Amino acid sequence: MKGIRQKFSNLNNAYTKAINKRYHRTGSLFEHPFKRIEIKSNAQLRYLVYYIHHGFCEHFPDYPWSSYLTIVSPKTTRLNRNEVLHWFKNKTNFEKFHTQDQIERFDELNIDSPQL
């Protein structure tokens, strides 16, 4: 786990340095406190995918940086679409999961609920 943390730390640091250099600025790019949680189950991972797709705008397919449309599209992508769909068992469950108003309906899809 320490190796993964170090890789993300290196990624964040490199990204911050590149942005600061490009825009002639200094300092942190992220608001403090920057929180991280350890993902301990597949259910948490699925919930976080849902949260990322829904958490930034009212109509998530319109959000230009969402991977949702790439995941449901048949077009070639570098995104590991099959792995993401496997987390939800299949594409139908992935789409149903994202169209539900309440995340509490895991049982309908035969998917275990997250322990946050």
Task: Select from 10, 78, 87, 19 the least CA-distant residue to 53.
Answer: 87
| Residue 95 sits in the same domain as residue 45 | yes
| 49 and 19 part of one domain | no
What tokens appear for 22 in the block?
A: 């490009």
In the predicted model, residues of the chain with pLDDT beneath 70 are: 1-2, 32-35, 55-56, 100-116
23 and 44 housed in the same domain: no
Regarding whether 51 and 9 lie in a shared domain, the answer is no
61 and 115 housed in the same domain: yes
The CA-based angle 96-80-86, given to 5 degrees, is: 45
Same domain, 47 and 84: yes
Beta carbons within 8 Å of 54's beta carbon, 6+ residues apart: 60, 98
pLDDT tens figures, 39-65: 888 888 888 888 777 766 777 777 777
Domain, as residue range, for 45: 39-116
Tokens of 108: 């309908």
Q: How many CB atoms lie within 10 A of CB 51?
A: 12
The number of distinct structural domains making up the chain is 2
pTM across the whole model: 0.56
